[in-house]
Amino acid sequence: MKHILILGGTTEGRQLAAALAAEPSVRVTSSLAGRVAEPRLPAGEVRVGGFGGAAGLAAWLREQQVHTLIDATHPFAQVISRNAAEAAAATHTPLLALRRPSWVPVPGDRWHSVDSLAAAAALLPRLGRRALLTTGRLGLSEFAQVSGVHLVARSVEPPEPPLPADLTVLLERGPFTLDGERAVFREHRIDLLVSKDSGGAATAPKLAVARELGLPVVLVRRPDAPTGVQVVTDVSEALGELGLW
CA dist list (Å): 54 to 28, 59, 89, 224: 20, 9, 10, 19
Cβ–Cβ < 8 Å for 27, 3: yes
Cβ–Cβ < 8 Å for 151, 143: yes
Q: Is 4 helix (H, G, I), strand (E, B) or coil?
A: strand
pLDDT above 80 (res 178): yes
* Cα-Cα-Cα-Cα dihedral sign, residues 156, 188, 197, 220: negative
What is the per-residue pLDDT across 84-136, written as a single tens digit (0 to 9) for each? 999 999 999 999 999 999 999 999 999 999 999 999 999 999 999 999 999 98
pLDDT over 90, % of the chain: 84
pLDDT above 80 (res 169): yes
Give the pLDDT of residue 114. Answer: 98
Give the pLDDT of residue 135. Answer: 94
Question: Cα(65)–Cα(67) distance, rounded to whole angstroms?
Answer: 6
Give the pLDDT of residue 82. Answer: 96
pLDDT above 90 (res 230): yes
Give the pLDDT of residue 39. Answer: 79
- Alpha carbon 124 to its chain's center: 22
pLDDT over 70, % of the chain: 99
* Mean pLDDT, rounded, of the chain: 94
Give the E-state strand segments of 121-220 in sequence order: 130-134, 150-155, 167-171, 192-196, 216-220
pLDDT above 60 (res 245): no
Please report which confidence band the pLDDT of residue 167 belongs to, taking 50, 70 and 90 as the band edges: very high
What are the chain's domains? Answer: 2-101+223-241 (3.40.50.720), 110-220 (3.40.50.720)
Q: Show Cβ contacts of residue 10 under 8 Å, excluding neighbours closer than 6 positions.
A: 72, 73, 74, 98, 100
Closest CA to 160 of 188, 139, 176: 139
What is the per-residue pLDDT across 34-86, written as a single tens digit (0 to 9) for each? 776 677 899 999 999 999 999 999 999 999 999 999 999 999 999 999 999 99
pLDDT above 80 (res 239): yes
Give the pLDDT of residue 33. Answer: 85
